Amino acid sequence: MLTPSDTARRTATIDVAAVLADVRGFKTFVSVQTLHTLVDSLRADPGFQINEVGTSEGGKPIYHVRFGSGSVKVLLVGWIDANEPISGLTAFSLLTLLAARNPGLIAADVEWNLIPCIDPDGAALNEGWSQHPFSLERYMRDFHRPAGRDQVDCSFPIKHKRLSFASPVKETRILMSVLAEVRPAFYYPLHNNSGAMGAWFEWSKCRLAIDHPSGAITPARGGRATMAHWNQSRFRRTVR
Ligand SMILES: [Zn+2]
């Protein structure tokens, strides 16, 4: 039977503005090493459960951090796209707030699960621009995003009509194992707009046009440009 305090906790909503007021400002993006050093330091805090759930293709550790025991299981995933370091700041900030027992987060009936960095190889390859004062030249030289089929988000197995794909990359297999273990009610891969590439849209037929205030957009044109850009990535995983 629920006690009044259980009921209060389960109906508590997170005041996002109040929580954000406690987030410290950052002058630079965090590196994978900085984030993983924070994760390591949390092993001393009994509120956290930290498991190394695997290693990347390049041998770097991938962690699953769990905090709290609420009834709503949440799973957040950092660096789901290698070139999007705002997700690293989000992961760093969430861990810092939980370690400080932020009242707004603690009051919610949530079991927090976080993979701080699911693609440490790809994230590190972007550090040539993300860990230095920003310049367009550095961004262009050191931008890295894997080819579509090698991206963690895009590499889940699928079988639909004549479409069959059954060889996810290693990092996706690790994410699948955490999803199966946690079975989250709320799953949110952390993205950010990638700066120079504009807005995103997805389509299933190349002839489809999207209504937009600026007029109809022909998705195929933008899509080809994007893929050509990715294919210039200087790092490729072995095609399996
Ligand atoms: Zn993204």
What distance in angstroms lies between residue 191's CA and the mean position of ligand 1's atoms?
Answer: 4
Confidence of residue 203 (pLDDT cuts 50, 70, 90): low
Confidence of residue 38 (pLDDT cuts 50, 70, 90): very high
Rounded CA separation 107/93 (Å):
17
Long-range (24+ apart) CB contacts under 8 A made by 164-168 are 167/240
Confidence of residue 101 (pLDDT cuts 50, 70, 90): very high
- Which H helix or E strand runs over 136? helix 136-142
CB atoms inside a 10 Å sphere around CB 64: 24
Q: Is the pLDDT of residue 194 over 90?
A: no
Mean pLDDT of 196-208: 51
Residue 61's alpha-carbon distances to 2, 33, 37, 119, in angstroms, are 40, 10, 12, 10
Rounded CA separation 59/108 (Å):
36
What distance in angstroms lies between residue 54's CA and the mean position of ligand 1's atoms?
Answer: 22
Lowest mean pLDDT among 18-32, 73-87, 197-211, 224-238: 224-238
Q: Is the pLDDT of residue 219 over 90?
A: no
- Counting every residue written for the chain, the total comes to 240
Is the separation of the CB atoms in 179 and 77 below 8 Å? no
What distance in angstroms lies between residue 76's CA and the mean position of ligand 1's atoms?
Answer: 13
pLDDT of residue 192: 79
Higher pLDDT: 193 or 119? It is: 119
Q: Is the pLDDT of residue 23 over 50?
A: yes
What distance in angstroms lies between residue 210's CA and the mean position of ligand 1's atoms?
Answer: 20
Confidence of residue 26 (pLDDT cuts 50, 70, 90): very high
Confidence of residue 235 (pLDDT cuts 50, 70, 90): very low
pLDDT of residue 239: 28
What distance in angstroms lies between residue 41's CA and the mean position of ligand 1's atoms?
Answer: 28
Confidence of residue 62 (pLDDT cuts 50, 70, 90): very high
First to last CA, the chain: 52
Q: Which residue type is seen at 222?
A: G
Residue 222's alpha-carbon distances to 151, 209, 218, 226, in angstroms, are 19, 12, 7, 6
What distance in angstroms lies between residue 123's CA and the mean position of ligand 1's atoms?
Answer: 12
Rounded CA separation 110/188 (Å):
14
Pairing status of strand 61-67 against strand 110-115: antiparallel
Higher pLDDT: 236 or 191? It is: 191
What distance in angstroms lies between residue 192's CA and the mean position of ligand 1's atoms?
Answer: 5
What distance in angstroms lies between residue 136's CA and the mean position of ligand 1's atoms?
Answer: 19
Ramachandran angles phi, psi of 48, nearest 5°: -105, 145
CATH number, domain 4-195, options 3.30.1490.190, 3.30.559.10, 3.40.30.10, 3.40.630.10 = 3.40.630.10
pTM, 2 dp: 0.79
Confidence of residue 193 (pLDDT cuts 50, 70, 90): low
Is the separation of the CB atoms in 93 and 23 below 8 Å? yes
Q: Is the pLDDT of residue 6 over 80?
A: no
CB atoms inside a 10 Å sphere around CB 86: 18
pLDDT, tens digit (0-9, with 9 covering 90-100), for 139-180: 999 999 888 888 999 999 999 999 899 999 999 999 999 999
Q: Which residues contact 165 (CB under 8 A, 6 or more apart)?
A: 149, 157, 158, 159
Q: Which residue type is seen at 138?
A: R
Q: What is the DSSP letter of 16?
A: H
Token pair belonging to 21: 């007021």
